[in-house]
Amino acid sequence: LTVRNSRRVIACTPCRGQPWFGSTFGDGFECVGQGPGDLGDRMRRCFDEAFSRGARRVVVIGSDLPTLSRERIEEALGALDGHDLVLGPALDGGYYLIGLRRPAPELFSDVDWSTERVLGQTVEQARRSGLSLKRLAGECDVDDASSLRALARGLEGASERIAPHTRAFLKKLDGRLRTKEMA
């Protein structure tokens, strides 16, 4: 997934996973360790690093949304021309994408990470901080077996160009599950 005029970074944890990410995703991605702390600490660190390197707009996306389109990321970047914050709501109450045009560390504190309250708490933090907000369309991320099955069903009728690597993985996984069922 290439977005014009962008620096692409994969932030992974643990740091020892960096060689795998680098070899899997190849050129065009910089791999960095996320460092310690909860999800908020790690995302705040990603934003701090990007802004310290001169970025004017930064978008962080989760790795659990394989159908996220380049157009949606470009929409988020474009929204930052007129808003301080852009959020892509996940259907489970969190978000799959967060973008900022300036540091806002307060967004990553006092949030009940990995709960259905994440989006609401983030929106409330933004309101208290006076940040203008743009919401993107909601998407379903993959957090558990149920959402993985929903993803597989959703890909069945979609264009073959959408999430080809995920499709291959799901096909392989399905074959393994069928083999187990037969044993």
Give pLDDT, residue 134. 98
1 has a pLDDT exceeding 70: no
Per residue in 69-110, pLDDT (tens digit) is 889 999 999 999 999 999 999 989 999 999 999 999 999 999
Specify the higher pLDDT residue, 126 or 5: 126
For residue 95, what are the β-bridge partners? 89
Nearest to 97 by CA among 122, 115, 129: 122
> CB of 85 within 8 A of CB of 134?
yes
Averaged pLDDT of the chain: 85
Is the whole model's pTM more than 0.95, yes or no? no
Residue 176: per-residue pLDDT:
64
**Confidence (pLDDT) at 167:** 84
Whether residue 115 contacts residue 164, with contact meaning beta carbons closer than 8 Å, is answered with no
Structure confidence at residue 79 (pLDDT)? 97
The pLDDT value recorded for residue 174 is: 74
- Give the pLDDT score at 24: 65
**pLDDT-based confidence at 133, cuts 50/70/90?**
very high
Alpha-helical (H) ranges within 111-163 are 118-129, 145-156
Q: What is the pLDDT of residue 113?
A: 95
Q: What is residue 14's predicted lDDT score, i.e. its pLDDT?
A: 64
Per residue in 51-76, pLDDT tens? 999 999 999 998 888 888 889 999 99
Rounded distance between C-alpha atoms, residue 126 and residue 83, angstroms: 11
| DSSP structural state of residue 63 | S
Q: Phi-psi bin for 21: left (phi > 0), alpha (psi -120 to 50), beta?
A: alpha
